[in-house]
């Protein structure tokens, strides 16, 4: 799949072709070859755009108005999964995952970019970190927890849509502050904002209400924000250390 929101503005055709048509191709194979199997679609909180309920959360019933080609492609895939489920009586579910990170996150994503930058700066391999909008807020969880949620979605007694989230939000600035504090540094001394990393249409806040998944699936996240950031920073410090041994 194509999963980088900022890059989707540069390659919108590829983004739609991969995420929407790719999902449709899989659904056609599923319908025609193994209709008794179970199908999980990795949907995205980017489908909501800047729509948010009055209580400050986004949930399964929140209106969806994506603000990027990536978000549009995921919404199209989300809709075709629902259509195939209802039209052909297939076990096809959508997991609406909010941001999920791990040490394996690609270094062109902001979370890994921060973790890698902190590691490099702490080891005197760099002296600054360029980022875009520091005030964007995201509901950041650990991929380890979210993969367990995906499995639970497929074990549920019926197909459905489920928001998977921590129900807490932190800004990019918070991520920087936490990451730099792990190496006893102040992010303000190293982080530089660069307009080229800001999206053409910015998405300011994502905060998911995963109450439905917690009740129906018995799922709870095991990692908090601090442990996630530490996991990622530790990984990159070790990676740099190993590279210089």
Spatial distance between the Cα atoms of 201 and 66, rounded to a whole number of angstroms: 10
Is 44 considered catalytic here?
yes
The answer to whether 171 is a known catalytic residue is no
Q: Which listed residue (8, 46, 136, 178) is catalytic?
A: 46
Q: How many Å apart are CA 201 and CA 9, to the nearest integer?
A: 10
Give the dihedral of Cα atoms 55, 59, 61, 63; nearest 10 deg: 80
Phi, psi (degrees; rounded to nearest 5) at 77: -65, -40
Q: Check 8, 43, 44, 143 and give the catalytic one.
A: 44
Given the residues 70, 146, 187, 235, the one annotated as active site: 70
Q: Is 73 one of the catalytic residues?
A: no
Q: Which residues are catalytic?
A: 44, 46, 70
């Amino acid at each position: 799949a194509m999963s980088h929101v900022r890059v989707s503005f540069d390659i919108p055709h590829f983004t739609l072709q991969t995420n929407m048509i790719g999902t449709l191709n899989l659904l056609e194979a599923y319908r025609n070859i193994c209709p008794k199997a179970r199908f999980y679609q990795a949907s995205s909180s980017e489908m909501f755009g800047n729509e948010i309920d009055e209580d400050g959360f986004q949930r399964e019933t929140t209106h969806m108005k994506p603000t990027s080609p990536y978000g549009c492609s995921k919404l199209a895939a989300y809709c075709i999964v629902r259509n195939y489920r209802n039209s052909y009586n297939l076990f096809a579910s959508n997991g609406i995952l909010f941001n999920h990170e791990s040490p394996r996150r690609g270094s062109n994503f902001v979370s890994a970019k921060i973790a890698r930058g902190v590691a490099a700066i702490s080891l005197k391999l760099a002296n600054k970190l360029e980022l875009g909008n520091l005030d964007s807020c995201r509901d950041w969880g650990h991929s380890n927890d979210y993969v367990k949620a995906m499995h639970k979605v497929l074990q549920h007694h019926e197909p459905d849509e489920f928001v998977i989230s921590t129900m807490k939000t932190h800004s990019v600035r918070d991520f920087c502050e936490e990451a730099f504090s792990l190496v006893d540094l102040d992010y303000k001394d190293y982080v530089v904002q660069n307009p080229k990393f800001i999206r053409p249409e910015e998405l300011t806040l994502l905060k998911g209400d995963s109450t439905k998944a917690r009740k129906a699936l018995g799922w709870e996240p095991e990692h908090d924000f601090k442990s996630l950031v530490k996991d990622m920073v530790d990984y990159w410090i070790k990676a740099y250390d190993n590279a210089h041994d």
